[in-house]
Structure 1
Amino acid sequence: MRLFLSGARTQFWLVRRHPDELLTLCTIPFTVVMLLSIVMHAARPDLIANAFLAPTLIGLWGFSTGLAAEVLVGERWTSTLELGMAAPGSLHPVYLGRISAVMLLGVVPLGETWLLGKLLFGVAPTVHHPWVFWAAMAASVFAMAGTSLLLAVTMLLSKNSNNYLNFIGFPIYLLSGVMVPVQYLPEFLQPLSHVIFLSWSADLMRDSLAAAPVAGAGWRLLAIVGLGVAALVGGRVLLALSLRRARELGTVTYA
């Protein structure tokens, strides 16, 4: 826990020193304006909740791929990864603490979206089941932290992995149904959404904004957490193997 908190403090300090790393927040207003403009001009008030949740979850993913996943790569480029490997303590809780700090910042798009919707369009969805909504948000942040660790290790393994991260963004948004529910996708694509935790998050958070009772909230939250745990364990194992290989080769370069 001490190493985890140390990593979180370090990341918050780095963000204060380099506020340009928060540029993801600058893209959220454009997404909000685009989606809400479409919904409002189409006279579809039933889709307002979708237009609010999409920028929130897109922002969470944006923080993951834009900042959290680059934690290990940044360490490599600044030649501090070798120092961490030489330290007596374990690196895993330190990097997980840094990534978790970034994911806490990923909650900011939620408030940003609600504020912009109210100021620019005069609308904001009512959260009829607040405990379900906030539980789903907390579970999503946890799952995103685990996914970010897995993505970070993947980026560490290949110098071209950043291109892959940029590519998978929109397929993830589509398959997870952050704006258009998964049931409207072609049938052969729908099973793929079940392995993406954001699809469970989007559906559960949408249901929490509706007046009707939320069905199966418990097991749906468990699905989000379970996928996050799977990614966390996978990232932890892959990081351990990557660091062991680097020690055996005596280098952490891409060569």
Structure 2
Amino acid sequence: MWGDAMNFFFLLVRELKYFTNFQNKMYQFLLFFQPLMFLAIVYFLQQMRGGVNVEKFVVASALISMWSYVLYSSGSALIAQKWSDTLKLLIAAPVSLFQVILTKAISNAFIALLSMILSFVYARFIFQLPVGIQDYGLFFLSVLVLLFSLSVVGMILAIVFVAFQNVFDYQNLILIPVLLICGVFVPVDSLPWVFRAIAFVIPMTWGIQGVYETLALSPQMFTTMGIALLISVVYFLLSVLIIKRMEMVLRNHGSLGAI
């Protein structure tokens, strides 16, 4: 038990070191330059069309950066190992595949948090845009709930995308639709019922809604965060079962062709 905990801790530290050396050009763009692009749009939107809800758009730009980073980093976690022919080494390693995927998802979620912080710093000190956070404690709590949802979504994406060689095509395909469905730009309640039904079973939807409700200090924010946690736990348990099953199949077949 103690050995598994130590292995998990060392894996998490290694993942954080790997993703914070910033040698990957794509991650550099997602973390540092993409928030500047979206905030520039918000800034010029304010200049040309006064009266827009700038605070919401600033948070939306941060959420876009967070989702983008999790989508591309966690979604490529296993397929990148498969491309580099190191996935078989992970299967043979003394740690479980679940621990490997979980540490990658958690580290990517916390790097996504760094992206949110950078977005707020850019907004405040470069573009002079208000962030609009009234209660930092409640806002941080809602962000933690969102990070948990993003971690779970990242695990699911890692499992799904390992089966596709052209993974970046699919990631680009779902980038904006997921943002629309999950309510980053418009409230989920204003979407057609088909899209609402899809949105309400995605953990990230409730996490994003919780962040927005915390900004407005809505009395529903704790209920929304509770639902986000509940749905995220369900998906987390489902991902555990799938990963365990995947690992068992891979070990039994002794080949990555079983994926």
> How many pairs are equivalent?
252
Distance 2:256 2:71 in 1: 22
Residue number in structure 2 paired with 1:29: 36
Give the partner amino acid of 2:245: L
| Range moving further from structure 2, 92-101 or 15-24 | 15-24
Residue number in structure 2 paired with 1:143: 149
Determine which of 178, 194, 204 is the counterpart of 2:200: 194
Cα drift, residue 187 of structure 1? 4.5
Cα drift, residue 120 of structure 1? 3.8
Q: Name the TM-score, length of structure 1 as normaliser.
A: 0.88
2:108 is equivalent to residue 102 of structure 1: yes
Residue number in structure 1 paired with 2:210: 204
Residue number in structure 2 paired with 1:216: 220
- Aligned-partner SS, 2:180: helix
**Runs of 5+ consecutive residues of structure 1 not aligned to the other structure:** none
Determine which of 208, 211, 231 is the counterpart of 1:227: 231
Distance 2:112 2:22 in 1: 18
Q: Name the TM-score, length of structure 2 as normaliser.
A: 0.87
Cα drift, residue 161 of structure 1? 3.9
Alignment of 1:180-191 (within 5 A): 180-191=186-197
Identity of aligned residues (%): 17
Give the partner amino acid of 2:146: S
2:73 is equivalent to residue 73 of structure 1: no
Cα drift, residue 23 of structure 1? 2.5
Q: Is the 8 A contact 1:24 1:59 kept in 2?
A: yes
Alignment of 1:80-91 (within 5 A): 80-91=86-97
Cα drift, residue 82 of structure 1? 1.3
Residue number in structure 2 paired with 1:18: 23
2:132 is equivalent to residue 126 of structure 1: yes
Give the partner amino acid of 1:2: M
Give the partner amino acid of 2:203: F
| Range moving further from structure 2, 110-119 or 132-141 | 110-119
| Range moving further from structure 2, 99-108 or 29-38 | 29-38
- Aligned-partner SS, 2:239: helix
RMSD, matched Cα = 2.2
**Runs of 5+ consecutive residues of structure 2 not aligned to the other structure:** none
2:11 is equivalent to residue 7 of structure 1: yes
